[in-house]
Amino acid sequence: MAVNLLSTTGMSFALRRRLIVLLATAVALVAGLAPVGYAIYLAYKTTVVNAEDNLRSIAQDIATDTSQLLNNINQGLIALTDLTYKCSAKDVSAMNTMSYDIPGISEIGLISPDRELVCTGWGPIKPPLKPELPPPQAGFRLLGPLEIRLMKRYGLIAMRQREDGSEIVALIHPSVLIGHMGADLGEHGFAVLLRREDTHLYAWEGNVPEMEMVASEAEAGDGSTQLRALFRDGVERTLFAVEVDGFPGIYSVVAAADEWILHDWQRMAVLLGGIGAGTSALLVFLIVGILQRRLSLQGELERSLHKDEFEINYQPVIELGSGRCVGAEALICWCQPGGKRVRPDLFIPLAEDTGLIEPMTVWLMQKLRTEIGQLLQDDRALHIAINLSPGHFESDRILQSSSSIFGNSGILPEQIIYEITERGLIDDADGKAKDIMRRLQSRKSGIALDDFGTGYSSLSYVETFPLDYLKIDKRFVDTVGVDALNTGMLVTIIDMARRLGLRTIAEGVETARQADYLLSRGVDYAQGWYFSRAMPAAEFIEFVHTTNRNLKQ
Ligand code: G
Ligand code: G
Ligand code: MN
């Protein structure tokens, strides 16, 4: 019977499944990565701020140290104002003492007004040297770095002009400054002194490439200037420049490339990124795993319905007074290929959630029509009970499908009992469910309340809905002869049903004692293993015949 049962579900299952998995994966990725992304962003901000503070304070330290050093040298040169050109022993000794006393000075010399080096701490220079020097200039100044040929090294020269035009020069070894600049600034970082007019570097460490262009410049407070500059080596650097106090135009400059500034952050980002990726992967794994399982069960359910892999088991219902079989409850059963049977309580809730329950019930009605239609025609006293779900009461479709399936099947509407379960809550604010039940009843079908006493609104159901039967749940039947207190509940339920004019069906009857007790209390019908298990149609038909034939004899 290949009806298109899937027409109600719209989009193809495979497509929907892929979409859901994709969506869940995206959600899991976002949930796992977003917090980590934010943490990485915050860490980035903090790292940059810290690194810049660090660079600025290095530049300031160097400026302070340099200021002190140059000040000392300047003071020393001022103290030597009465040196004579004679280069006497006294002159030489004064120069020597000075170069020992003042850190940073490695040599002192005297340049005559006609630009000749006449005297040093080593003694008179004979004949005098004529070094290449810039034109004289008043006060203190700094030159260099110049290559000092004697030493084959670079040095800085501090000069101070005297009133007669002569100059005292001090040779400063740059290592003094470099010592102050020993901070580790990474492969592309450096610390230098810089003179504004000629952008000349006074002291350096490593290779200092020429600056190509300055991208931005900002006063960073504390008298320091922050720059972003591209250099000839193609590396962009952040620089801080601080003017050396007391020596206008001379700057302490430190520079570092991003790789140094972001070094710690990069390590942290890798770590956090790993954690985030791990979390996401775990989430994706879990969510997709759960979905796959659920979706695959759902998918299998849909396919099975197509392939007619379901069966109906009929559980006989016995009239307690006479022992007659008055019909059966139709229970759907999922018999997977390979003989595996799946219990309804595993797949019915899924079918209810996915709306598949409607085509399943349609299938069940069609199937029972072919299987026991003849039996029901032959014995008009027989009933068949069909389980409905809360979803069935949200639209008129059950009215249409039942009348079209049973319409001219030979099965009379009064032979059908619809069971509504108490487990799923029917919220009937608009009276829709009640209306559907009334219309089923107007065809003379019966309405039974299933699982009575197991839900939270048993009494409100009884009050709200137009019922014909009450099915007493197995757990009350189980109390017979065992649990006096709850037998009280059983008695109460039976009495209540009688007062409301409802016929009673006891479920899960397993012993003769239970059956006798229920009969003595006036229960009308019973089903359960004491009478028979649920069974396939052919066996059920046989069961009806033997049970009822034996009674007639
Ligand atoms: O005896 P068994 O374990 O098969 O019990 C089946 C349970 O599943 C019953 O509680 C019954 O309410 C439910 N069930 C069985 N068949 C159907 C069906 O066709 N539709 C609905 N909605 N429920 C069913
Ligand atoms: O539709 P309903 O929810 O009443 O389904 C009854 C459930 O109880 C089914 O799972 C069925 O297999 C089971 N059942 C039916 N009769 C007996 C019985 O006598 N004893 C036990 N233990 N289970 C039963
Ligand atoms: Mn039932």
Answer for the pair 471, 507: CB distance below 8 angstroms, yes or no: yes
CA of 306 to the centre of ligand 3 (A): 24
CA of 154 to the centre of ligand 3 (A): 102
pLDDT level of residue 12 (50, 70, 90 thresholds)? low
Q: Which ligand is nearest to the CA of 348?
A: 1
Q: Encode pLDDT of 412-443 as tens digits.
A: 999 999 999 887 767 788 889 999 999 999 99
Per-residue pLDDT at 381: 96
- Ligand 1, atom 6, residue with closest C-alpha: 344
CA of 515 to the centre of ligand 2 (A): 15
**Is residue 142 within a helix (H) or strand (E), and if so which, with residue range?**
strand 140-148
CA of 448 to the centre of ligand 3 (A): 9
Query: What is the mean pLDDT of the segment spanning 85-102?
Result: 89
pLDDT level of residue 128 (50, 70, 90 thresholds)? confident
| Atom of ligand 1 at shortest range from CA of 421 | 12
Q: Which ligand is nearest to the CA of 389?
A: 1
* Residues at CB less than 6 angstroms from ligand 2: 315, 387, 450-451, 507-510, 528-529, 534
Q: Encode pLDDT of 364-379 as tens digits.
A: 999 999 999 999 999 9
pLDDT level of residue 11 (50, 70, 90 thresholds)? low
Answer for the pair 28, 284: CB distance below 8 angstroms, yes or no: yes
Instruction: Give every CB contact of residue 143 below 8 A, 6+ residues apart in sequence.
Output: 133, 134, 156, 157, 158, 159
- Ligand 2, atom 12, residue with closest C-alpha: 534
Per-residue pLDDT at 377: 97
Instruction: Give every CB contact of residue 279 below 8 A, 6+ residues apart in sequence.
Output: 32, 33, 36
Query: What is the mean pLDDT of the segment spanning 476-490?
Result: 85
Residue 331: Cβ-neighbour burial (10 angstroms; 0-12, 13-18, 19+): middle
CA of 344 to the centre of ligand 1 (A): 5
Per-residue pLDDT at 409: 93
Verify cis geometry, omega within 30 degrees of 0, for the bond prior to 131.
Answer: no
Size (the chain), residues: 553
CA of 352 to the centre of ligand 1 (A): 12
Query: By percentage, how much of the chain surpasses pLDDT 90?
Result: 40
Per-residue pLDDT at 178: 59
| Atom of ligand 1 at shortest range from CA of 388 | 22
* Residue the block writes with tokens 């004491």: 530
Token duo for residue 314: 């009929």
Token duo for residue 41: 């962003």
Greatest mean pLDDT among 27-31, 144-148, 362-366, 459-463: 362-366
pLDDT higher than threshold 60 for residue 241: yes
**Residue among 329, 332, 368, 389 to mutate when testing ligand 1 (max atoms within 8 A of CB):** 332
* Residues at CB less than 6 angstroms from ligand 1: 331-332, 343-345, 348, 357, 361, 364, 387-389, 421, 450, 534
The two counts, helices (H) then strands (E), for the chain are 14, 21
pLDDT higher than threshold 80 for residue 51: yes
First to last CA, the chain: 40
pLDDT higher than threshold 50 for residue 21: yes
Strand order in the sheet with 105-111: 123-129, 117-120, 105-111, 167-172, 153-161, 140-148
Q: Which ligand is nearest to the CA of 312?
A: 1
- Ligand 1, atom 21, residue with closest C-alpha: 387
Instruction: Give every CB contact of residue 286 below 8 A, 6+ residues apart in sequence.
Output: 28
- Ligand 2, atom 18, residue with closest C-alpha: 508
Q: At what angle do helices 537-552 and 357-378 cross, to 10 degrees?
A: 30
| Atom of ligand 2 at shortest range from CA of 473 | 4
Per-residue pLDDT at 28: 81
CA of 345 to the centre of ligand 1 (A): 7
pLDDT higher than threshold 70 for residue 324: yes
pLDDT higher than threshold 60 for residue 230: yes
Q: Encode pLDDT of 131-180 as tens digits.
A: 877 788 888 888 766 666 655 666 778 899 988 888 999 988 766 665 55
CA of 498 to the centre of ligand 1 (A): 26
pLDDT higher than threshold 70 for residue 335: yes
Residue type, 72: N
pLDDT level of residue 6 (50, 70, 90 thresholds)? very low
Q: Which ligand is nearest to the CA of 311?
A: 1
Q: Encode pLDDT of 34-46 as tens digits.
A: 888 898 999 999 9
**Residue among 474, 511, 513 to mutate when testing ligand 2 (max atoms within 8 A of CB):** 474
The mean-pLDDT minimum among 9-13, 20-24, 136-140, 443-447 falls in 9-13
pLDDT level of residue 220 (50, 70, 90 thresholds)? low
Q: 516 — phi, psi (to 5°)?
A: -60, -45
What fold does the segment set 306-467 form as a domain? TIM Barrel (3.20.20)
Distance between CA atoms of 163 and 139, rounded to whole angstroms?
10
So where are the chain's domains?
22-279, 306-467
Q: Encode pLDDT of 285-301 as tens digits.
A: 888 888 777 777 777 88
CA of 471 to the centre of ligand 1 (A): 14
pTM: 0.57
- Ligand 1, atom 19, residue with closest C-alpha: 332
pLDDT higher than threshold 80 for residue 4: no
Higher pLDDT residue, 535 or 304? 535
- The two beta strands, 525-526 and 503-506, are parallel
Ligand 3 ion: residues within 5 Å (CB): 387, 419, 450
Query: 254 by DSSP, 3-state: which?
Result: strand
Per-residue pLDDT at 2: 33
CA of 222 to the centre of ligand 1 (A): 81
Mean pLDDT (the chain, rounded): 86
Per-residue pLDDT at 147: 63
pLDDT higher than threshold 80 for residue 221: no
pLDDT higher than threshold 90 for residue 508: yes
Q: Encode pLDDT of 521-543 as tens digits.
A: 999 999 999 999 999 999 999 99
Higher pLDDT residue, 136 or 204? 136
Q: Report the DSSP beta bridge partners of residue 140.
A: 160
Q: 485 — phi, psi (to 5°)?
A: -60, -45
CA of 528 to the centre of ligand 2 (A): 7
